[in-house]
Amino acid sequence: MDRLLIEKTAIVTGAGRGIGKATAAQFVREGARVVIAEFDDTTGRNCADELGENAIFHKTDVSDEKSVIVLFDYVMSEFGKLDILVNNAGILADSTLKKLDSDQFDAVLNVNLRGTYLCGKAAAGIMMEQGNGVILNAASVVAHHGNFGQTNYVASKAGVIGMTKVWARELGKEGIRVNAIAPGFIKTGMTAGMPENIIQMMEGKVPLKRWGEPEDVANAYTFLASDEASYITGTVLNVDGGVVV
């Protein structure tokens, strides 16, 4: 079978671990050159080293506009084009509304929402000049129905879904597709520390009766990034084992 992303240049933010790392790995296997845009030096460099010569680490703070500009300037100077952006970087700072302070709220919104906006805007400028490109945003199933103790996280991911739909409307005529993926319960570093009884309780809510793997989400990103999805834009794909049903 032909590889899906031959000669494509991609940026994956937050690619040092979890879903981002799995996505970067899948993109490389499918023939892409991938820039690992990661804030953490150790995980970013380790990921690039593991994936080989077609993966390059670039330290990036997606919430900082100057850092984002430097990232996209670097990609254009090295490769001369940008085919795919995956806005995967995200953080949690869970708390009930009564205890949630403004710093926690701002921190999550700055990375998850502002970071997606800054990277999306930078990518769109490049892709509009090219006349093509794909932007993929990380949402979450909790954006559809809320989740206890996640005012900031849910707000950020609901905002990502809204921006995805706006960008699809605005950029379609420029040859740019914009979609989002809403993962459900996925085994990542964020979930590894959960108590076993909570893990089992959450698993019981999934019709497929298992947690997802990062590769399940990476496969969906790969499809949406490829020409196989050339007539798909403005959609939010739930990768959740049916939990929103």
- Model pLDDT for residues 143-193, shown as the tens digit of each residue: 999 999 999 999 999 999 999 999 999 999 999 999 999 999 998 876 766
Cα–Cα distance measured from residue 116 to residue 43, given in angstroms and rounded to the nearest whole number: 20
Positions of the chain with pLDDT under 70: 1, 190, 192-194
Question: For residue 83, what are the domain limits?
Answer: 9-238
- With 0.75 as the threshold, say if the pTM is over it: yes
Cα–Cα distance measured from residue 174 to residue 171, given in angstroms and rounded to the nearest whole number: 5
* C-alpha 222, offset from chain centre: 12
Taking CA atoms, 95 is separated from 39, 98, 112, 149, 152, in Å, by 24, 8, 16, 5, 9
Q: Report the domain count for the chain.
A: 1
In a domain, 245, yes or no: no
* C-alpha 147, offset from chain centre: 20
Cα–Cα distance measured from residue 239 to residue 214, given in angstroms and rounded to the nearest whole number: 10
In a domain, 243, yes or no: no
Cα–Cα distance measured from residue 152 to residue 158, given in angstroms and rounded to the nearest whole number: 10
**Most distant pair of Cα atoms in the chain: their distance:** 54
At residue 197, the pLDDT reads 77
Cβ neighbours of 144 (radius 10 Å): 18
Determine contact, residues 122/87, Cβ cutoff 8 Å.
Answer: no
At residue 200, the pLDDT reads 80
Q: How does DSSP classify residue 211?
A: P
Which are the catalytic amino acids?
153
Cα–Cα distance measured from residue 111 to residue 134, given in angstroms and rounded to the nearest whole number: 21
In a domain, 127, yes or no: yes
Mean pLDDT of the chain: 95
Q: Which amino acid is at 53?
A: E
In a domain, 168, yes or no: yes
CATH number at residue 231: 3.40.50.720
In a domain, 53, yes or no: yes
Using CA atoms of 18, 31, 12, 207 in order, give the dihedral in degrees to the nearest 10.
-40
In a domain, 42, yes or no: yes
In a domain, 244, yes or no: no
At residue 107, the pLDDT reads 98
In a domain, 4, yes or no: no
Q: Which amino acid is at 87?
A: N
